[in-house]
Chain A
Amino acid sequence: MTRRISFLLFTAALLLTSGCKPLFEIRKAMYDQPKYEALEVSDFFGDRRSARPLIEGTVAQGQLRLDDHLYLALEEIDGDILQARTYPFEITMADLERGRERYDIYCSVCHGLSGHGEGMVVRRGYKAAPGYHSEKLRDMPPGYFYSVITNGYGQMSSYAAQIPVEDRWRITAYIQALQRSQFASIEDYEAVKARSSHDETLESPHEHH
């Protein structure tokens, strides 16, 4: 009788150890394979980062940034290298739309949706972010805004890590559109009026009879 019971217990114990451990271990090994997922912690490198920083003084293939106008916002004007007064690529309506979207994501929290510096974070006590409608900023060339986004300005951090190069130019274009919207000249008004009445005649010619 005791022998039978110990046989039963022994088999049960075998089942427990041999049956279940591998089940969990194999499964776990497949769940967490010896490869790095994005940003996974590494025990191999001293700084515990699996995402390795670029070695200083090297350039990754395809990332040699030779276009100074696009990347550094520098332009040759009358023989001098100056902050760019033009855009490195043509700004279309789609670029402006994209600029607005990116501005709303990255800038509006401080500078406000209309660029008056009334963003939510400033209202909660961040250093006042200047509006874009001052005389000083209205006179600044596009290259200036690109540089502020890229390098930061005073208390404002650089947004280079968050915003790709082309989008920085699009945001710049949108800021200039915002500035224009606040200080529209009488010529702007005439131009818009002329265009809309023109559109009207195009779209509904029969209404004019």
Chain B
Amino acid sequence: MLMSSQLFTSKHNTLARLTLLIFVLGGAGFLGLMDMIHRSPYVRYTKVRREQPVPFSHKHHSNLGIDCRYCHTSVEVSGFANIPPTQTCMNCHNVMWNESPMLEPVRESWATGESLEWTRVHDLPDFVYFNHAIHVNKGIGCATCHGRVDQMPLTWKEKPLYMKWCLECHRDPAANVRPKDKIFDMAFDPASLSREEREALVEEYGIDHADHRLTNCWICHR
């Protein structure tokens, strides 16, 4: 009692309230700022070309007319699209450019049997469940989610992969659906179809988004 009456006089009441206010607002603001930074495209490497052990260019290889499935073999049948093993590169590079210094890590991996360690470009948090097969088999094209991969010299992430982004499409799949024979066509734009045509596709593919089913938390957090 004695101490406090000496330390804090009545005029400190205003000061104390002010300090509290500053702490609360400042603290909240600070946390908010941290959160914004944490979610910003900058921290998430959105549209940033990632360094890789081998400067693999989708642009070069797509220009040759190699289908995505030649390398991403399981994209139609499994949740995971697959990253090709060294063997796949060696199908061609056993003969072609087999002295290029850029391909040295590939040859070394081939000779030693040690895996190449690619830097992940997309990586959802572990508490989110994603599945390629369901999207690809229900008329959502690679380009809708990954952008023009066929024009990327080094792969980057086109979309920041916010939850908001998943939900936007799950609320209205008709905005992005395309004919199944155009899934791997990187240049095709779903907007070139009329709204009615796209709604007909949603019907045809049996995309089940009645009663907001696709926005239930357990769809993606299971």
Seen from chain A, the residues whose Cβ lies within 8 Å of a Cβ on chain B are 8, 11, 15, 19-20, 23-24, 27, 30-33, 35, 37-39, 41, 47-49, 104-106, 108-109, 120-121, 124-127, 155, 157, 159, 161-162
Q: Are A126 and B95 in contact (CB under 8 A)?
A: yes
Docked-complex contact A23 and B31, CB < 8 angstroms: yes
Residues of A within 8 A of B125 (CB): 30-32
Bound Cα distance from A41 to B116, whole angstroms: 10
A-B interface, 3 closest residue pairs, ranked by CB to CB distance from nearest: A31-B125, A38-B80, A33-B126
Least Cβ–Cβ distance between A111 and chain B, in angstroms = 13
Q: B45 CB to closest chain A CB, in angstroms?
A: 14
Interface residue? B196 (CB, 8 A): no
Chain B positions 18 through 58: 1 when the CB is less than 8 Å from some CB of chain A, otherwise 0:
01000100010011001000100000000000000000000
Q: In the complex, are the beta carbons of A105 and B117 less than 8 A apart?
A: no
| Cα–Cα, bound, A99→B64 (Å) | 21
Identify the B interface with A (CB < 8 A).
19, 23, 27, 30-31, 34, 38, 64-67, 69-70, 73, 79-80, 82-83, 85, 87-88, 90-92, 94-96, 113-115, 117, 125-127
Contacts of B66 in A (CB 8 A): 109, 121
Q: Is the CB of A109 within 8 A of B64?
A: yes
Tell whether, in the assembled complex, residue A48 and residue B117 are in contact, meaning their CB atoms are under 8 Å apart. Answer: yes
Within 8 Å by CB of A109, from B70, B113, B114, lies B70
- B69 engages A105 (CB within 8 Å): yes
Distance to closest chain A CB from B38 (angstroms): 8
Q: Which residues of A sit under 8 angstroms from B115, Cβ to Cβ?
A: 47-49
CB distance from A98 to the nearest CB of B (A): 12
Docked Cα-Cα span, A48 to B85, in Å, equals 14
Q: Distance (Å) between the CB of B92 and the closest chain A CB? A: 6
Complex Cα distance, B31 from A128, in Å, reads 62
